[in-house]
Amino acid sequence: MRKYFLIGASAFVLGAGSMAYVSQSARATPEPRAQTYHMLELFGDVLDKVKSQYVTPVDDKKLIEAALDGMLSSLDPHSNYLNADAYSEMQDQTRGEYGGLGIEITSEDGVIKVISPIDGTPAARAGIKAGDYITAVNGQSVLGLTVNDAVKQMRGKAGETVTVTIAREKTDPFDVKLVREIIQPKSVTFRMEGDYGYLRLSSFNEKATDEMRSAIEQLKAKNPNLKGFVLDLRNNPGGLLDQAVGVAGLFLDGGEVVSQRGRDPKDIERYNAKPHGDITGGAHLVVLINSGSASASEIVAGALQDRHRAELVGLTSFGKGSVQTVIPLRDGLDGAVKLTTARYYTPSGRSIQRTGITPELEVAETREEAQQVANQAFQFSEASFHNALNADEGKERKGAHEPAEAPPAAFDEKKGDFQLTRALDVLKYGSVAATPKLPKPAATLADAAAVRAARLSAGKPDAGEKPN
């Protein structure tokens, strides 16, 4: 049975790879037997009442699957039950070939929320964004459905049209028509940007390391005198742990990439890059991240940052710092349990669960996004989930604060990529410290008020003010 470490951001995916570890068995500390047997008997009693007295006939299998999923999803946003069909789909997704719309989703308080659209898929082409809510599919509400049930509403034959209703901050709900496709995303795209190589990694499927190695080699062949690389991990929701280690290893000469620690603090597993693995020859490297960069992306960004191999540009990452173990039940015939079993740590020992990776140069993609940084209400991250696993070090994610660098008024946001522009500036000047800084935009009145309120709630009054 193949094993997978899943470290992706979502509870389920529609065209994206999540990350976990698939094992044959798992152990748990049992509760006192008498109490356990009593609660199991109670479950049977409730099931019997529902079967005999509910207003319409019920499907026993669906009820029990929903109960299993509810039990697991109550633990944290990334633990859940996969029935046999969902487990098979997950295996297809990690192989990088699957059908769907190209959306990675999760459930937040009974509402389906988009983690990230996948590059080159129907969802990405239609403009669906991270943080969007999906409220209906083909006119039928998905509110209150489990992620698995919502997925079934959106799955279908390739070539058929499906209409999803999107709710987005500051806009009225609107419909988006998508045509289902057999999703076979290429995880790596690349091009020259002047004297620099640009590498875009959209997901960490089984092909990620090989595709990244090939892209670097092709860029070097095209220009043997490359002055550096930009590695773009924006909106990359994660994938396979071994691929995160492999991709990081293409820029490192051995040494630790990531470690993971489970319930027992002495149980530490470390993952190292291969010696003499830096195929770029130590070329200058800048990594682009944003709030859609999750799990595997954060492992790579954190490792390259801690090892002083790269500087980071963009916005603080998602903060998905936990590992899920996918445990097949009866070899997958009864599906599988996806269970959070460990946190992962960067080489310096940082747990980034909830807090995320902070870039050396904070840069917003648009002027609107810069204002969102000043208003915590618009920031979607791991910390947004009410039952997210706590940060191991007791740290908190940075809240509303002064807006980041943003495109100046003369910059065309529709045609240009301001974060990439600033990453190339860092390569040009040699470091973030040497790169001339741009003035940060002033927060709008409403956003300034939000920052002020956040400071007061944290017990940090402005000058001349006292907390209540």
What strand order describes the sheet that includes 284-289?
188-193, 196-201, 228-232, 284-289, 311-314, 361-362
**In terms of Cα–Cα distance, which of 282, 281, 277, 206 is closest to 244?**
206
Per-residue model confidence (pLDDT) at position 20 = 46
Per-residue model confidence (pLDDT) at position 379 = 65
CA distance to 91, 160, 186, 254, 309, per residue, from 97 (Å): 9, 18, 10, 31, 32
Tell me the C-alpha distance between 213 and 275, whole Å.
16
**In terms of Cα–Cα distance, which of 93, 132, 113 is closest to 15?**
93
Q: Which residue has the tokens 């747990």?
A: 351
Tokens of 115: 């983690």
Dmax of the chain from CA atoms? 76
CA distance to 50, 223, 285, 320, 351, per residue, from 197 (Å): 61, 9, 10, 28, 31
Contact criterion met (CB below 8 Å) for 376 and 431: no
Per-residue model confidence (pLDDT) at position 260 = 93
Tell me the C-alpha distance between 464 and 447, whole Å.
20
Neighbours of 63 (CB within 10 A): 15
Per-residue model confidence (pLDDT) at position 5 = 55
**In terms of Cα–Cα distance, which of 190, 163, 165, 188 is closest to 178?**
163
Per-residue model confidence (pLDDT) at position 390 = 82
Q: Check if 3 is active-site.
A: no
- Cα distance from N-terminal residue to C-terminal residue, the chain: 59
Contact criterion met (CB below 8 Å) for 114 and 104: yes
The DSSP line for 167-212 is E-TTS--EEEEEE-EEE---SEEEEEETTEEEEEE--B-TTHHHHH
Per-residue model confidence (pLDDT) at position 31 = 58
Per-residue model confidence (pLDDT) at position 245 = 97
Per-residue model confidence (pLDDT) at position 30 = 53
Rounded average pLDDT per 10-residue block, the chain, 468 residues: 50 40 47 84 95 94 92 92 86 66 81 84 90 92 85 81 91 93 82 97 92 97 95 92 96 96 88 94 97 94 98 95 91 93 93 92 92 72 84 76 87 94 98 93 58 53 36
Distance of CA 105 to the CA centre of its chain: 10
Q: Domains of the chain by range and CATH? A: 99-183 (2.30.42.10), 188-323+346-456 (3.90.226.10)
Contact criterion met (CB below 8 Å) for 133 and 123: no
Neighbours of 62 (CB within 10 A): 11
- Rg of the chain (C-alpha set): 23
CA distance to 8, 89, 95, 108, 395, per residue, from 82 (Å): 15, 10, 17, 18, 32
Contact criterion met (CB below 8 Å) for 152 and 101: no
Burial class (CB in 10 A: 0-12, 13-18, 19+), 247: buried
Per-residue model confidence (pLDDT) at position 13 = 40
Strand (E) or helix (H) holding 336: strand 336-345
Residue 430 backbone class (left: φ over 0; alpha: ψ -120 to 50; beta: rest): left
Tokens of 73: 């999803």
User: φ and ψ at 178, to 5 degrees?
Assistant: -125, 145
Catalytic-role residue among 320, 338, 351, 381: 320
Pairing of strands 103-108, 111-117: antiparallel
Contact criterion met (CB below 8 Å) for 303 and 252: yes
Q: Check if 306 is active-site.
A: yes
Per-residue model confidence (pLDDT) at position 437 = 92
Per-residue model confidence (pLDDT) at position 12 = 38
Catalytic-role residue among 69, 119, 232, 306: 306
Tell me the C-alpha distance between 375 and 212, whole Å.
36
Catalytic-role residue among 10, 116, 203, 295: 295
Tokens of 149: 């049930």
Residue type, 401: H
Per-residue model confidence (pLDDT) at position 190 = 95
